């Protein structure tokens, strides 16, 4: 890397780090980044799809970054695919928006954790960010230095090496006060600036690119061609490429090329000059092809690879086995592990004793590992380049008088270290061994060594299968060998007994073992053209045959096949190479079916031996169960019994072995969740019974399945649940009458309409229609049509400006059937759908749309906010807005949430008002022949000053029953509040909102409040709830419960939650609770989507997932 690039990195780390939370709004929507010092960088990162803003239309550039946001940003950049080694943290909920990113961080070890916790909602410290950067960008420490900062002693042990790495490479500098500020938090804008400088170019779309970058370039997608480019930093081909293709054509990279993506047909290098290439494909399946005009100074293989073509590689460092095309011009090979082999030009190179590297261009070796010509090398921690030698002595026509030959026994020559100075003589490995002989002889009684096996026929090419005999100079040692490229050991491979033949292309490895001490591994490669003529191994035999026994039996297994292994099972299953390996007699103490096979090299596996033993030893009878194990939906009752009179039954439900110290069975067992029941009968005068084992799979009616992309959906969060106002729904879901449901999303350009089968979740259709105006307001589905509300901002406040358009589309063809336009003058609208919901209700051809607006400027100079109610004839697509000046007959201002329902021909409107009036208000619109008669019902009075935006509640759902109007809200304890302003609820120190149902009698207009939770003093917060009508006339109330909440006082009260789950229960139309409160641990809810019900379940979508719960009955 250039000095200038390091200086830029140092400047970057002088700021800080972050990423994003849920993707909600495009850059143009953010009200708080205009003229911000990082505005251009923020917009650039949004365009790259790395992060976005918040549901209230802000970006919050000066807010502190959370650990979940940091993880998400790194994952969005690198798109890590390999999650096999991810950690299941206690505080990371399945399905959470950040879960996949945190899984990726833990799988790759990029971010630190805290044992069983990740702490996703904690604010990221400077130390945590430094550590994550070093891991994510593969930065390596050049030297061991001492940290001379005033707070150096505060650096955590796990972060010390990372801090030293950035300091030693000039990336990190202290502050004027001499400190690092290691525990300081980092703002979102600072973080974006840092990532932007670390990532000069991010290629996240397929195509052809020409890039000249001073810094790093990252490719995280497949089918990318990089041409005519010069990269002065590093090039990262990330796991996001998956098994796809990447081509570099006429590309120069001064730094490292990290290849973690690509497949078996994949990375193409043409006329490129690369310094250091590091290959680390997580599934060991990658092919790299370079043409004759491509040069690589150093290639370092951390995963198995196939290197093809005719390029020039000065140095190859192998930490994983590889095959190199014979046409490649390869200089030096270094191997770091004894199990690693490199196949090149008909030879197998492997590790032997000493510290040398093998030069493939001659028969010489140097006694020091070579470095690339550039002087730059990627050195993974703890890797020391050891010795590489060929298995065979390499003959050469040249006379290399000044070289060290590995196999000719001539030690008279000098060896050169690579600096061109031949004045110093260096001892060869053989000479060093002679000097150590006396020491070894003195220690012979203390040190036991096992000689490496020797083979009668060495590796090579053969037309006839060679006969292989293995031996070792160590008396009494056993020799184990493998022919499948695995490492032989006492538990892996065949025990050598007699000579055997080898066929095909085979790598044989052998090891000698005595008294637990192993020799080095012998490796030979054979290329045999004779076809294998396989016969079958002999079936094993048992010393005890099938029968009925009253004493314990010790069964010995044997076979007449030489060099064979016997595998067996005791559960009646067919054995294979993964079953028990026979080494000692098998003890049979209970009724058992024993099955065994013989496995031998180059032979078909034997037939299966089957022996059945029925045991009747003097013991108590095994307990029995009233219901056998299996799959059950919901709770299952299990009764245990034993036929042995006087026996006591003890049991466990956690899979552990029961004893007399386990739970004594006295009454039926109720199993509510999946468990393994084990029970034993114990009698004072008998042996313990056999153990009863029954596995009960309690099928959760709760379902989580990923079915779509997030688009602009937003999950219910602590922030949204205490928000002062709602926002227009960016996603909608409706159930259709053909056993399907439709989900509508938008990305700011198009509206995506996906239809799914209710039962299978299969995609029935996937279409899109254009978003014809900039603002998406809402979507509604009927049996035969889709309706879309879209709008635009009337910035100039002109009366003829189109502020809202209502469109109707055919449900099958998506043909536009009609539309109507609403102007700013007739609706008194500056910004449509602003600060509220968009709700639809249909009765025949009458549709009512109840929403919100920011109005045209008033006489007092302000743009006030309030409700807007639109009537639409769905047959003619003609609209009506009843308004007098700026006010409608049902005026509510401000109105922060709106719902509408038809009750027969009557229309019921709901508004959440903070001023005129300050309450949850219901408005009845009753038809009178020429229009409507309006009457108002007060459903909930809100304390506080008129116009104070803070109201202490959010409204989540509204439904009409036979006798009542039902509204669900979350609310504070108003007794704790001393006052309300537009930003603060005075006197309130914690947000612990409860879930309440407002039951309003249709006849009297009286409302009773039914409180469903009691969160006060629990650090829990009830999220904005949902109200779901069920097919039997009852209702499900559902909400996200946030736990371990921390409320922050300072300006506006904010909340961070430690965890969350979904709670739900069933009520009747009077608010009476009919079932217990249930918990869906993996669930979450959407701010926008209204769940729907079938006869037995309620389902919804949130983020990328489909969720469902069974409707509880008790």
**43 in the same domain as 145:** yes
* Range of lowest pLDDT (319-328, 958-967, 1057-1066): 319-328
**959 in the same domain as 936:** no
Judge whether 215 and 232 are in contact, CB under 8 Å: yes
What pLDDT, on a 0 to 100 scale, did the predictor assign at position 49? 63
% of residues, the chain, pLDDT over 90: 51
* Range of lowest pLDDT (116-120, 186-190, 526-530, 895-899): 186-190
**190 in the same domain as 64:** yes
In the structure, what pLDDT confidence band is assigned to residue 247 with cuts at 50, 70 and 90?
very high
45-57 pLDDT per residue, tens = 776 667 667 666 7
**218 in the same domain as 147:** no
What pLDDT, on a 0 to 100 scale, did the predictor assign at position 1090? 97
**508 in the same domain as 585:** no
* Range of lowest pLDDT (71-85, 803-817, 890-904): 71-85
What pLDDT, on a 0 to 100 scale, did the predictor assign at position 448? 55
pLDDT at 13 over 50: no
Residue 730 structure tokens:
């960016």
What pLDDT, on a 0 to 100 scale, did the predictor assign at position 559? 93
Looking at the DSSP assignment, which residues form a beta bridge with residue 849?
840, 870
pLDDT at 428 over 70: no
Place of tokens 């022949």: 929
**270 in the same domain as 175:** no
Average pLDDT over residues 767-787: 96
What pLDDT, on a 0 to 100 scale, did the predictor assign at position 534? 65
User: Domain for residue 522, yes or no?
Assistant: yes
Last residue of a domain, one of 928, 949, 970: 949
175-185 pLDDT per residue, tens = 777 788 888 88
* Range of lowest pLDDT (37-41, 445-449, 731-735): 445-449
Residue 93 structure tokens:
């909920």
User: Domain for residue 406, yes or no?
Assistant: no
**Which range has highest mean pLDDT (45-49, 364-368, 553-557, 954-958)?**
954-958
% of residues, the chain, pLDDT over 70: 85
User: Domain for residue 707, yes or no?
Assistant: no
Domain count, the chain: 7
- What residues contact residue 28 under an 8 Å CB cut-off, 6+ apart? none
Average pLDDT over residues 1023-1052: 88
Looking at the DSSP assignment, which residues form a beta bridge with residue 348?
343
- What residues contact residue 294 under an 8 Å CB cut-off, 6+ apart? 269, 270, 271, 272, 273, 274, 309, 311, 312
Tell me which of 126 and 250 has the higher pLDDT: 250
Average pLDDT over residues 940-968: 96
Range of the domain at 289: 201-401
Average pLDDT over residues 910-934: 96
888-902 pLDDT per residue, tens = 999 999 999 999 999
Tell me which of 842 and 504 has the higher pLDDT: 842
**910 in the same domain as 955:** no
**9 in the same domain as 134:** yes
* Range of lowest pLDDT (413-422, 583-592, 894-903, 1056-1065): 413-422
Cα dist from 774 to 56, 482, 747, 804, 819, whole Å: 17, 66, 11, 10, 16
What pLDDT, on a 0 to 100 scale, did the predictor assign at position 16? 30
What pLDDT, on a 0 to 100 scale, did the predictor assign at position 532? 66
Average pLDDT over residues 218-222: 90
Cα dist from 224 to 218, 233, 262, 423, 537, whole Å: 11, 19, 11, 51, 51
Looking at the DSSP assignment, which residues form a beta bridge with residue 926?
933
Average pLDDT over residues 204-212: 89
**206 in the same domain as 283:** yes
Q: How far apart are CA 777 and CA 476, in angstroms?
A: 83
**1050 in the same domain as 1038:** yes
Tell me which of 674 and 171 has the higher pLDDT: 674
* Range of lowest pLDDT (148-157, 754-763, 1057-1066): 148-157
CA triple 848-853-855, angle to 5 deg: 130
User: Domain for residue 1102, yes or no?
Assistant: no
Q: How far apart are CA 1025 and CA 687, in angstroms?
A: 58
> What's the gap between Cα 412 and its chain centre?
60
Average pLDDT over residues 64-93: 87
What pLDDT, on a 0 to 100 scale, did the predictor assign at position 88? 87
SS3 825: helix
Judge whether 957 and 967 are in contact, CB under 8 Å: yes
Q: What is the pTM of this model?
A: 0.46
Going by C-alpha positions, the residue among 482, 476, 431, 429 that lies closest to residue 451 is 476
> What's the gap between Cα 631 and its chain centre?
29
Looking at the DSSP assignment, which residues form a beta bridge with residue 541?
558
Tell me which of 781 and 409 has the higher pLDDT: 781
Average pLDDT over residues 573-601: 88
What pLDDT, on a 0 to 100 scale, did the predictor assign at position 700? 64
**1028 in the same domain as 895:** no
Maximum distance among all alpha carbons in the chain?
117
Looking at the DSSP assignment, which residues form a beta bridge with residue 769?
751
pLDDT at 98 over 80: yes
Concatenated DSSP letters for 937-973?
EEEEE--S-TT-S--SEEEEEEEE-SSEEEEEEEE--
What pLDDT, on a 0 to 100 scale, did the predictor assign at position 584? 84
In the structure, what pLDDT confidence band is assigned to residue 577 with cuts at 50, 70 and 90?
confident
* Range of lowest pLDDT (280-289, 352-361, 691-700, 784-793): 352-361
Place of tokens 């251009």: 40
User: Domain for residue 617, yes or no?
Assistant: no
In the structure, what pLDDT confidence band is assigned to residue 289 with cuts at 50, 70 and 90?
very high
What pLDDT, on a 0 to 100 scale, did the predictor assign at position 1074? 95
* Range of lowest pLDDT (314-328, 794-808, 860-874, 919-933): 314-328
**170 in the same domain as 44:** yes
Tell me which of 710 and 82 has the higher pLDDT: 82
* Range of lowest pLDDT (9-23, 53-67, 195-209, 822-836): 9-23
> What's the gap between Cα 293 and its chain centre?
40
What pLDDT, on a 0 to 100 scale, did the predictor assign at position 352? 59
pLDDT at 722 over 90: yes
Mean pLDDT estimate for the chain: 84
User: Domain for residue 1114, yes or no?
Assistant: no
User: For residue 474, what is the domain's CATH number?
Assistant: 2.60.40
Q: How far apart are CA 609 and CA 592, in angstroms?
A: 14
Average pLDDT over residues 859-882: 96
User: Domain for residue 536, yes or no?
Assistant: no
Judge whether 147 and 155 are in contact, CB under 8 Å: yes
CA triple 1002-1003-1005, angle to 5 deg: 65
**Which range has highest mean pLDDT (511-525, 560-574, 772-786)?**
772-786
User: Domain for residue 445, yes or no?
Assistant: no
In the structure, what pLDDT confidence band is assigned to residue 1049 with cuts at 50, 70 and 90?
low
Judge whether 765 and 772 are in contact, CB under 8 Å: no
pLDDT at 1095 over 50: yes
Concatenated DSSP letters for 27-81?
GGG-SS-TT-TTHHHHHHHHHTTS----TTS---TTSBPBHHHHHHHHHHHH---
* Range of lowest pLDDT (698-712, 714-728, 747-761): 698-712
Average pLDDT over residues 546-556: 84
Judge whether 430 and 412 are in contact, CB under 8 Å: no
């Amino acid at each position: 890397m250039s000095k200038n690039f390091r200086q830029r990195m140092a400047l970057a780390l002088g700021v800080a780090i972050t990423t994003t939370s849920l993707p909600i709004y495009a850059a143009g929507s953010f009200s708080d980044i205009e003229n911000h010092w990082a505005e251009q960088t923020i917009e650039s990162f949004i365009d790259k799809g790395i992060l976005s803003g918040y549901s209230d239309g802000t970006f919050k550039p000066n807010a502190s970054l959370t650990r979940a946001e940091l993880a998400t940003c790194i994952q969005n950049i690198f798109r890590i695919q390999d999650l096999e080694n991810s950690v299941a943290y206690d505080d990371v909920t399945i399905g959470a928006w950040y879960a996949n990113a945190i899984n990726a961080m833990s799988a790759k070890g990029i971010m630190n954790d805290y044992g069983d916790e990740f702490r996703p909602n904690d604010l990221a410290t400077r130390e945590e960010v430094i550590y994550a950067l070093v891991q994510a960008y593969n930065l390596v420490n050049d030297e061991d230095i001492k940290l001379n900062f005033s707070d150096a002693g505060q650096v955590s042990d796990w972060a010390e090496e990372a801090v030293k790495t950035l300091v030693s490479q000039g990336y990190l500098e202290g502050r004027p006060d001499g400190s690092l500020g290691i525990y300081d938090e980092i703002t979102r804008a600072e973080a974006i600036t840092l990532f932007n400088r670390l990532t000069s170019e991010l290629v996240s779309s397929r195509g052809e690119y020409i890039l000249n970058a001073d810094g790093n370039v990252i490719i995280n997608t497949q089918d990318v061609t990089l041409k005519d480019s010069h990269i002065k930093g590093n090039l990262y081909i990330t796991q996001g490429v998956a098994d796809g293709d990447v081509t570099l054509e006429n590309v120069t990279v001064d730094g490292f090329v990290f290849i973690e993506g690509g497949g078996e047909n994949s990375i193409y290098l043409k006329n490129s000059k690369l310094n250091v290439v590091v290959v680390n494909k997580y599934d060991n399946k990658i092919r790299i092809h370079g043409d004759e005009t491509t040069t690589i100074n150093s290639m370092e293989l951390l995963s198995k690879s196939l290197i093809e073509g005719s390029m020039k590689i000065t140095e190859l460092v192998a930490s994983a086995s590889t095959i190199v095309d014979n046409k490649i011009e390869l200089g030096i090979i270094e191997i770091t592990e004894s199990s690693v082999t490199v196949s090149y030009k008909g030879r197998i190179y492997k590790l032997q004793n000493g510290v040398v590297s093998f030069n493939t261009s001659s028969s010489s070796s140097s006694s020091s590992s070579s470095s690339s010509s550039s002087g730059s090398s990627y050195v993974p921690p703890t890797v020391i380049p050891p010795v590489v030698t060929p298995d065979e002595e390499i003959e050469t026509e040249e006379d290399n008088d000044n070289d060290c030959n590995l196999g000719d026994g001539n030690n008279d020559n000098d060896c050169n270290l690579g600096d061109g100075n031949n004045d110093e003589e260096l001892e060869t490995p053989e000479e060093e061994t002679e000097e150590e002989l006396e020491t070894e002889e003195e220690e012979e009684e203390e040190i036991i060594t096992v000689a490496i096996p020797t083979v009668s026929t060495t590796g090579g090419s053969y037309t006839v299968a060679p006969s292989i005999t293995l031996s070792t100079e160590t008396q009494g040692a056993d020799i184990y060998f493998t022919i499948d490229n695995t490492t032989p050991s006492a538990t892996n491979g065949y025990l050598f007994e007699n000579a055997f033949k080898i066929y095909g292309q085979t790598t044989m490895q052998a090891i000698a073992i005595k008294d637990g001490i192993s020799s080095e591994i012998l490796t030979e490669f054979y290329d045999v053209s004779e076809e294998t003529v396989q016969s079958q191994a002999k079936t094993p035999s048992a010393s005890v045959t099938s029968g009925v026994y009253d004493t314990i039996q010790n069964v010995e297994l044997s076979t007449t096949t030489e060099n064979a292994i016997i595998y067996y099972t005791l559960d009646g299953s067919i054995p294979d190479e993964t079953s028990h390996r026979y080494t000692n007699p098998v003890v049979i103490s209970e009724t058992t079916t024993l099955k065994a096979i013989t496995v031998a090299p180059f032979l078909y596996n034997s037939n299966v031996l089957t022996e059945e033993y029925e045991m009747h030893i003097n013991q108590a009878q095994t307990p029995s169960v009233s219901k056998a194990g299996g799959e059950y939906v919901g709770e299952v009752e299990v009764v245990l019994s034993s036929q042995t009179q006087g026996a006591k039954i003890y049991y466990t439900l956690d899979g552990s072995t029961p004893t007399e110290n386990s739970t004594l069975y006295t009454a039926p067992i109720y199993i509510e969740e999946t468990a393994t029941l084990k029970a034993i009968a114990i009698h004072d005068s008998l042996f313990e019974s056999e153990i009863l084992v029954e596995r009960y799979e309690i099928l959760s009616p709760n379902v989580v399945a990923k079915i779509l992309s997030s688009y602009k959906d937003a999950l219910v969060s602590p922030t949204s649940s205490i928000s002062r106002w709602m926002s227009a729904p960016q996603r909608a879901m409706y159930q259709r009458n053909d056993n399907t449901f439709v989900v509508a999303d938008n990305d700011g350009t198009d509206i995506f309409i996906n239809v799914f089968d209710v039962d299978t979740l299969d995609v029935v259709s996937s279409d899109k229609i254009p978003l014809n105006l900039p603002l998406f307001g809402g979507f509604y589905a009927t049996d035969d049509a889709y309706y879309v509300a879209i709008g635009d901002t009337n910035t100039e406040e002109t009366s003829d400006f189109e502020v809202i358009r209502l469109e109707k589309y055919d449900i099958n063809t998506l043909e536009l059937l009609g539309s109507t336009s609403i102007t700013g003058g007739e609706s008194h609208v500056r910004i449509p759908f602003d600060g509220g919901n968009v709700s639809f209700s249909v009765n025949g051809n009458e549709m009512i749309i109840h929403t919100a607006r920011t109005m045209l400027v008033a006489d007092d100079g302000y743009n006030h906010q309030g409700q807007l109610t639109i009537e639409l004839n769905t047959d003619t697509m003609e609209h009506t807005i009843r308004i007098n000046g700026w006010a409608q007959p049902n005026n509510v201002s401000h109105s922060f949430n709106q719902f509408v329902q038809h009750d027969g021909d009557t229309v019921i409107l709901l508004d959440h008002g903070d001023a005129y009036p300050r309450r949850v208000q219901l408005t009845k619109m009753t038809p009178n022949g020429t229009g409507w008669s309006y009457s108002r019902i007060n459903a909930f009075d809100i304390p506080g000053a008129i116009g104070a935006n803070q109201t202490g509640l959010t409204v989540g759902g509204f439904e009409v029953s036979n006798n009542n109007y039902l509204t669900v809200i979350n609310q504070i304890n108003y007794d704790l509040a001393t006052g309300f302003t537009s930003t603060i609820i005075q006197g309130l120190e914690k947000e612990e909102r409860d879930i309440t149902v407002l039951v309003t009698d249709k006849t009297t207009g009286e409302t009773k409040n039914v409180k469903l939770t009691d969160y006060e003093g629990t650090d829990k917060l009830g999220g904005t709830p949902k109200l779901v009508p069920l097919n039997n006339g009852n209702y499900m109330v559902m909400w996200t419960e946030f736990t371990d909440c921390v409320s922050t006082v300072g300006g506006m009260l904010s909340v961070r939650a430690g965890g969350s789950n979904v709670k739900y229960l069933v009520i009747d139309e009077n608010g009476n609770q009919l079932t217990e409160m249930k918990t869906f641990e993996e669930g979450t809810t959407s701010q926008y989507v209204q769940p729907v019900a079938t006869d037995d379940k309620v389902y919804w979508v949130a983020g990328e997932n489909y969720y469902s719960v069974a409707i509880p009955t008790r």
